[in-house]
Amino acid sequence: MGCARCVPLFVIRSPGTPDRPHGGGVHVSTAWAEAPYPVLVTDSVGDVVETNEAASHLFAQAGEDVFVGSLPDWLAQAHRRPTPAVGPPESASGTVAGRTFEAHPSPGEDGCVVWWLVENTDLHLAQQALQGERERTTILADISSALFSSLNVERCTEVTVRMAADHLANAAVVVAPAQGRRHSLTYTQVGGEVAHKTAAIDPRAVPGLTEALQGFPPVPTRWIDPGDIPDWAVPPGFTGPIGSVIVTPLPGYGMPAGVLILLRSSTHQAFSDGEEVFARLFAARAGAALSAARLYAEQASITTTLLRELLPPKLERLHGVEYAGIYRAAKDHERVGGDFYDVHPGTGDSKETFVVLGDVAGKGLEAAVLTGKIRSVLHALLPLSGDHKHVLTLLNDALMNSHHTRFATLVLASVQRRQGEVRIRLTSAGHLPPLIVRTDGRVEEAATSGTLIGALPEIHAQSTEVVLAPGETCLLYTDGITEARGGPLGDQLYGEERLRTALRECVRMPAEAVVERVQMLASQWLGGREHDDMATLAITTPLGGGGTPHLVGEHDDSRPHDREQ
């Protein structure tokens, strides 16, 4: 308060002091006249009838003559409030001469009220600062969680402009780094939609933009003339002249993630220094989030490209035979693993389709890489696919001579349709023999066996031939199915017997339904427990039914399909 004289209040009751006698017949203590707090006495209608020294001084500072005019509005309003029947009268607060006060009333005589003004300017300022700081912290926390929740560049950019428009400016634009000579622009304004466009722009048209795109520190906002802003930097539909502009880089991982342009209309207050600082804090967060999203998109794109060759192929009907496969990797977040299958459509007169299903020791990406090599080798050996033993020997040699220490088991099948039935030559190389579902409900095991591949210099293999009548299926599968551990008692293997039982019900089912049913039952048996890679491939002779389906599936296919016999 800065009042050096501390006169104790309410010590002596006196009629007044010689230099400042009291008027108006109001009888109050002398102490108040020199009290360190401004004091006003108002009569019943709200006119000021008396002030003490501090009050005169205060109102003089404010350039107001409270005797002539009325009380400040906030105090006049408080005066008009009825005195509560019980309890102390209510205090009021407001500003005088740019300082804030709390005014406490105490009733005087004849309906007069004595207003004691206690200054709380510092407290008020501190509270305001605290509230502002809290709001900014909340906004920054909100911004961070919104920005960092998505790893999608487009969504991240949308969130950035939306948040910027909501909290910092009337409108916001993000200029992404150039792609060739074009920049992607994302705009929005308060309450508006987010708009995108890609355009060949001249960054030099916006002061500071070229520098910001190169990652230089932002130019002070006062350097930017709002009149210089070109139309492309203003959101479509933004009305009114621009009052002030901030151009700030979005710092990224070693290179700028883009530039944020904030616009305020001329009817709005210009950006303050504090707001400029806040805009930079915001830009730092947005830049980090955008860079993370870009990095993720790049990695995801690389992964997709590399995995494309390793993913199981989509199967469909070929030369009058149905093929369907389902692959489930050991880990739910992975798409590839140590199991694999391929179907190579036959060419030439025989139109013998070559099918392979196999299992490499181990799981995960490392195993998947080896499956990719095996699939490539087998693809190259396609012309020799008439002789399974020969193919297996060559594959064995290739694996023995590679740096991989892993081995593999597989089943080869050469499939040919002849007069309504399907002939399959099957060879197992250390793999589970395929199961054949007959129309009478029997489930047979194909009589083929052989040594696994990639372990011994010499291999042997025993082939077999089976014939499938319409509605019959040959199922190739990996041990991930039969070794699924779970069931109602939690610790049992699914086993071949349960698989056979399930297959007995798959007579005359489309190939897709067979693999789906087997995978579903095994998956339900697992009930969410850990499992190995699980692959199933069904070869089915379609039912003749009433004729030829002239639609074969959901994929475009330029290959001509054989008409059924």
Nearer to other proteins, 136 or 155 (CB): 155
Interacting residues with other proteins between 141 and 160 (CB under 8 A): 142, 144-146, 148-152, 154-155, 159
Interacting residues with other proteins between 156 and 185 (CB under 8 A): 159
Among 276, 397, 516, 562, binds other proteins (CB under 8 A): 516
* Binding flag, residue 5, other proteins (CB under 8 A): no
Nearer to other proteins, 454 or 486 (CB): 486
* Binding flag, residue 320, other proteins (CB under 8 A): no
* Binding flag, residue 548, other proteins (CB under 8 A): yes
Whether residue 454 contacts residue 404, with contact meaning beta carbons closer than 8 Å, is answered with: yes
Nearer to other proteins, 57 or 155 (CB): 155
Question: CA nearest 257: which of 282, 292, 217, 229?
Answer: 292
Least distance to other proteins from the beta carbon of 517, Å? 5
* Binding flag, residue 490, other proteins (CB under 8 A): yes
* Binding flag, residue 381, other proteins (CB under 8 A): no
Among 215, 313, 487, 495, binds other proteins (CB under 8 A): 487
* Binding flag, residue 296, other proteins (CB under 8 A): yes
Least distance to other proteins from the beta carbon of 242, Å? 27
Q: Residue 128 to residues 95, 131, 134, 409: CA-CA distances in angstroms? A: 14, 5, 10, 74
Burial 36-46 (b: 16+ CB within 10 A, else e): bbbbbbbbeee
- Beta bridge partners, 242, equal 265
Residues 6+ apart with CB under 8 A from 89: 83, 105, 106, 107
Least distance to other proteins from the beta carbon of 382, Å? 29
Q: What angle do CA 458, 384, 308 make, to 5 degrees?
A: 95
Among 96, 368, 437, 509, binds other proteins (CB under 8 A): 509
Question: CA nearest 55: which of 64, 47, 46?
Answer: 64
Give the Cα separation of 40 and 47 in Å (integer).
10
Give the SS3 label for residue 399: helix
Among 310, 513, 561, 562, binds other proteins (CB under 8 A): 513
Radius of gyration of the CA atoms of the chain, in A: 42
Provide DSSP, 400-413: HTSS----EEEEEE
* Binding flag, residue 471, other proteins (CB under 8 A): yes
Sign, CA dihedral 135-141-144-148, equals negative
* Candidate ranges 307-315, 366-374, 413-421, 510-518; the one touching other proteins (CB under 8 A): 510-518
Among 262, 510, 533, 538, binds other proteins (CB under 8 A): 510
Whether residue 482 contacts residue 432, with contact meaning beta carbons closer than 8 Å, is answered with: yes
Interacting residues with other proteins between 57 and 86 (CB under 8 A): none
Contact positions toward other proteins, by CB under 8 A?
142, 144-146, 148-152, 154-155, 159, 296-297, 300, 332-333, 335, 471, 487-491, 501, 505-510, 512-513, 516-517, 520, 523, 528, 542-555
